[in-house]
Amino acid sequence: MPVQQLEKIFDDKLEKEIRIEPRDWMPDNYRKNLIRMIGQHAHSEIVGMLPEGEWITRAPSLRRKATLLAKVQDEAGHGLYLYAAAETMGISREEMNDQLLTGKAKYSSIFNYPTLTWADIGAIGWLVDGAAIMNQVPLCRTSYGPYARAMIRVCKEESFHQRQGFEILLTLCRGSKEQKEMAQDALNRWWWPSLMMFGPNDDNSPHTAQSMKWKIKRFTNDELRQKFVDICTDQAKVLGLTIPDPDLKWNEEKKQYDFGKINWDEFWNVVNGNGPCNKERIAARIKAHEDGKWVREAAEAYASKKKNVKAA
């Protein structure tokens, strides 16, 4: 079939909100853009296990430990669904892993910040998972079928994560003076990096316009960031915490909160590999890959032995 005709079928599907499926024809750049985005998302889930994993042995009670363990395990699951969704577009898991370990593929900037106190686990759940939900609920309607379907389960689990984080902070805020100070300190450190998770402003975002046309993204980076600020500002009041932004104020005309300027130099510095924990995170992933070599070899040996037995 001529390319123009294939393009027309593709465009009609988008127009009618019919999902694009792995065997459908799609423009090369649509495929490339989704592999980039789903790959980055999968890597973020996997690298995202590291800062929280550090607190599993230091959680303040058995209940908190069990919950955190389950949450970190959920993130591993999310990474696996997402790698599988990206594989349907023709890239292998090995290639994606290689891109992560060699620094060719990005992962979310947020996971390059350290978790200094237990309150950080609360702040990550509330803000980081909260930002993830804001960004990912619309992705349940993204135009590529396997990604959209993976996001449904991911979002359900993220919503538990967000609530456990909020509850950790609420407990600290209702506790001693020192505990409340610890919660405020965590908010002070995680607030701005959480706003950066949504990506650069729309006028500096090279992928947004095309991704909106292809219905991969349903909202722009700035639209989602604004919704996040509006929701969190009200939630911070429930906690009795102060958002570290002197310019944050209600705009009656726009019915939204205006907020201060994001430090984009810090953002690009972290994205380009120079954040507080970038090197540590990649080193941990390289070590995990090397430590897992014998498992991959054993699985391959087992598979080939089984194949030989069957052939005989």
Site for ligand BYC in 76-105 (CB under 6 A): none
- Compute the distance between CA of residue 88 and CA of residue 265 in angstroms, rounded to an integer: 36
Site for ligand BYC in 155-174 (CB under 6 A): none
- Shortest Cβ 301–ligand BYC spacing (Å): 33
Which member of 67, 97, 99, 109 binds ligand BYC (CB under 6 A)? 109
Residue 211 interacting with ligand BYC (CB under 6 A): yes
Contact 70, 4 (CB under 8 A): no
Contact 163, 229 (CB under 8 A): no
- Shortest Cβ 92–ligand BYC spacing (Å): 19
Closer to ligand BYC by Cβ: residue 256 or 269: 269
- Compute the distance between CA of residue 129 and CA of residue 216 in angstroms, rounded to an integer: 21
Number of residues in contact with ligand BYC, rule: CB under 6 A? 27
Site for ligand BYC in 263-282 (CB under 6 A): 271
- Binding-site string for ligand BYC from residue 180 to residue 209, where x marks contact by CB under 6 A and - marks none: ----------------xxxxx----xxxx-
- Compute the distance between CA of residue 46 and CA of residue 111 in angstroms, rounded to an integer: 10
Closer to ligand BYC by Cβ: residue 122 or 199: 199
Helix (H) or strand (E) segment spanning residue 224? helix 221-239
Residue 108 interacting with ligand BYC (CB under 6 A): yes
Question: Which among 14-22, 40-48, 177-185, 272-280 is the span making contact with ligand BYC, rule CB under 6 A?
Answer: 40-48
Question: Which among 88-96, 127-135, 179-187, 288-296 is the span making contact with ligand BYC, rule CB under 6 A?
Answer: 127-135
Report the relative pairing of strands 256-258 and 249-251 from DSSP bridges.
Answer: antiparallel
Handedness of CA 166, 171, 177, 182 (dihedral sign): negative
Instruction: State the Cα angle at 88 between 85 and 93, rounded to 5°.
Output: 75
How many Cβ atoms from other residues are within 10 Å of residue 119's Cβ? 24
Tokens standing for residue 47? 């690298």
Residue 120 interacting with ligand BYC (CB under 6 A): no
Contact 192, 262 (CB under 8 A): yes
Q: Which residues bind ligand BYC (CB under 6 A)?
A: 36-37, 40-41, 44-45, 48, 75, 106, 108-109, 128-129, 132, 135, 196-200, 205-208, 211, 221, 271
